């Protein structure tokens, strides 16, 4: 709807199922956005708006360079995806309300200020804008990286209680 451009912002999409990439690319290009495929091995152009990772096994590399991550499977009744990897690599995480698969972990990360929930497009957009326009965000991001070991230790101790 509101297509106000923010400079130096590239959305990175990492589909869970790489076989869907062609359809995802077509849908994005039909929205008049400039797309770059990771597998092309070409240098990314300065006008690229969406970067699609169409390979497996490289997710952590992209978590390391991202400030904000939307974890899928949480807007639909799928139960959400595991937030530990992006959290330990310093990402703020936004997600939908359906995170039953990892509800305890999300509760803890939410208390630490790492995750934010949204349930509609407008709310998600507001959260992202707040994150990317906030001057102290990068300092917060560095602080989040320091939480990494704490998050993993906390999680492993929680797992040990269950086992």
At 37-94, the pLDDT tens digits run 999 989 999 899 999 999 999 998 999 888 889 998 898 888 889 998 898 888 889 9
pTM to 2 decimal places: 0.76
Residues 5-21: pLDDT tens digits?
Answer: 556 778 899 998 999 99
Which residues lie below 8 Å from residue 100, measured CB to CB, with a gap of 6+?
79, 80
Rg (C-alpha) for the chain, rounded Å, is: 16
For the four alpha carbons of 59, 66, 96 and 144, in that order, the dihedral sign comes to positive
């Amino acid at each position: 709807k509101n297509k106000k451009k923010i400079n130096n912002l590239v959305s990175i999409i990492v589909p869970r199922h790489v076989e869907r990439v062609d359809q995802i690319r077509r849908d994005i290009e039909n929205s008049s956005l400039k797309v770059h495929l990771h597998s092309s091995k070409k240098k990314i152009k300065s006008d690229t708006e969406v970067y699609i990772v169409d390979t497996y096994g490289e997710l952590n590399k992209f978590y390391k360079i991202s400030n904000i991550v939307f974890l899928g499977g949480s807007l639909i009744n799928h139960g959400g995806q595991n937030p530990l990897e992006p959290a330990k690599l310093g990402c703020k995480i936004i997600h939908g309300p359906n995170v039953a698969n990892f509800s305890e972990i999300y509760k803890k990360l939410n208390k630490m200020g790492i995750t934010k929930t949204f349930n509609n497009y407008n709310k998600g957009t507001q959260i992202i804008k707040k994150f990317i326009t906030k001057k102290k965000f990068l300092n917060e991001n560095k602080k989040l990286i320091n939480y990494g070991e704490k998050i993993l230790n906390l999680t492993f101790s929680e797992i040990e209680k269950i086992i």
